[in-house]
Amino acid sequence: MQKKTLTKTLTLLLASGLLFSGCAQEAEEPKMIIIEEEEEEIAGVVGVTYQDVTLTKKITLEYRSVISEDLSFDVEREKVEEVLVEKGDFVKAGQLLISLGTKDTADQIADKEYEIRRMELQLEALEQKKAQDILEENFEFAVKDDGKGYTQEVHEDNLERIEDSYRNSIENYQDSLYIARLRLEELKDGGGDHQIYAPFDGVLTYVRQGLEESTTTIGSVVITIMDPEECYFFADKPEDARPLFQQGDIVSLNINGGLSNGDYPVELVDINEEDALRFRLVSGGEDLSIALGTKASITKVLGERDHVLAVPTRALHRAGDVTYVYVINELGEHIVRHVEVGLEGDTYTEIISGLEEGERIAASIK
């Protein structure tokens, strides 16, 4: 490896597109550009050759289901008797997943009736308090001191504030009472089954640990089920990937790792949603068993040039709008040379002018 320490400031002379050629040029006075560089080491030597130049962009994706449901209990403080399934199990619609040691229906009815009566009393007390506040406001207005600006408009504003201050609480009690009364009717009609059942055929992607012998909490998720027939590869950054594809495109997807390792054709089936870009397996991949959360990638070719003069992309440097390389002359000296580039690829960059085949340049700067 050849190394050379650069000085703090390099001088780049540009003259009618011909730079540092070693030939005298008198047609134009050279234009001087100063390139500020920190002290660096030039490392390695590569030749200017003809190469195929390719520019790509890698899109990362994750395998997810579009149909899933979180399951929770609809009863409070009941004992969980047995959890009959584990994460990863495939279950059928209507299958019992978790059983509860529920109370007798008569006890549940008595509990619900007590709950309803308690809420009715709380609602009644709240309404009485509101009525008292309104009565006091009306009394204050009746004995008002006109000299203090207590107008009809002020009075109406005060009444409206009283109404607003109680409205949400009263409505919450009324809603809770409505639901509790419906539940009471269900219990009286024999609807006291609070077990957890599978809503559709699917795979369990989450089962809460430590459920057995615990007590239930309404609305707390205990199981998540997903439909394995509705799984897709979703782009991690759809906003970046969307401009690169059209709906219906069939491209190659790579899974690197796991039992499903390999390349598979996928079709873009959804490009119009704001926050989604999804692909599905086609042509032999439909029956492939892929774990949820599997990561994959699609490599999209953005540009190609076949057999063009090129240098490694890492060998290029820039100062403002000037692109340059370090050419190594016969004496082993490193000379700054301006170049015009075409397609900048992943590995190689096309050279339009400024270099010739066979010239040697510094491979990179450390």
In the chain, helix, strand, coil percent, each to 5?
25, 40, 35
pLDDT > 50? residue 97 = yes
Q: pLDDT-based confidence at 153, cuts 50/70/90?
A: confident
Domain boundary among 165, 197, 225: 225
Q: Looking at the structure, do residues 72 and 219 belong to the same domain, yes or no?
A: yes
d(CA 232, CA 241): 16
Average pLDDT score over residue span 136-155: 80
What local confidence, expressed as pLDDT, does residue 7 receive? 39
DSSP string, 262-276: EEEEEEEEE--STT-
Q: Looking at the structure, do residues 158 and 258 belong to the same domain, yes or no?
A: no
Q: pLDDT-based confidence at 105, cuts 50/70/90?
A: low
What local confidence, expressed as pLDDT, does residue 273 receive? 63
Out of 37-51, 87-101, 174-188, 346-360, pick the least confident: 37-51
Q: Are 337 and 323 contacting, i.e. CB atoms less than 8 angstroms apart?
A: no
Say whether 325 sits in a helix, a strand or coil.
Answer: strand
Domain assignment present for residue 35? The answer is: no
pLDDT tens for each residue of 288-317: 678 888 999 999 999 999 999 999 999 999
Model pTM? 0.52
d(CA 98, CA 81): 8
> What's the number of domains the chain is made of?
2
Domain boundary among 208, 225, 242: 225
What local confidence, expressed as pLDDT, does residue 3 receive? 45
Q: Looking at the structure, do residues 270 and 363 belong to the same domain, yes or no?
A: yes
Task: Identify the CATH number of the domain in which residue 316 sits.
Answer: 2.40.420.20
Q: pLDDT-based confidence at 30, cuts 50/70/90?
A: very low
Q: Are 70 and 204 contacting, i.e. CB atoms less than 8 angstroms apart?
A: no
Task: Look up the domain containing 241 and give its range.
Answer: 1-5+40-63+230-366
DSSP string, 198-230: -SSSEEEEEE-TT-TT-B--BT-EEEEEE-GGG
More confident residue, 55 or 26: 55
Domain boundary among 225, 243, 264: 225
Average pLDDT score over residue span 144-160: 80
What local confidence, expressed as pLDDT, does residue 42 receive? 56
Angle between the N-to-C axes of helices 152-188 and 105-142, in degrees from 0 to 180, rounded to the nearest 10 = 170
d(CA 181, CA 158): 35
pLDDT > 70? residue 50 = yes
Picking from 256, 196, 244, the residue whose alpha carbon sits closest to that of residue 224 is 196
